[in-house]
Chain A
Amino acid sequence: MPANNADTPNSADRRDLLKGLAIVLGAAITPGCQRAAEVPVAQRIAGAARWSADQRAIAHRCADLIMPATDTPGALAAGVGEFMDYVTSVWLQRSELAELLEGLDVLQQQGQRQYSKDFVRLDEAEQVHLLTQMESADSAVNFWGLGAGHSKAFERLKELTVVGYYFSEVGTKQERRYVPMPGHYDGYYKLSEVGKQWSS
Chain B
Amino acid sequence: MPVNMIACCKQVPDPEAPPSVFKVADNKMTLPPDVKPVIGQYEEFALEAALKVKDTNGGKITALSLGNNFVRDVIKKALAVGSDELILLEDEAFEGGDSWSTANALAMAIKKMAEYDIIFCGRQSSDWDAGQVGLGIAEILEIPAVTLARKVEVVDGKAKVERVIPDGYQVVEVTLPALIIVTSGIGALRYATLKGIMAAAKKQPVIWKPADIGLETSQIGAAGRHSKLDKLFQPVKEAKCEIIEGETPAEAGANLALKLREAKLL
Q: Does chain A bind chain B?
A: no
Query: Footprint of B on A, CB under 8 Å?
Result: none
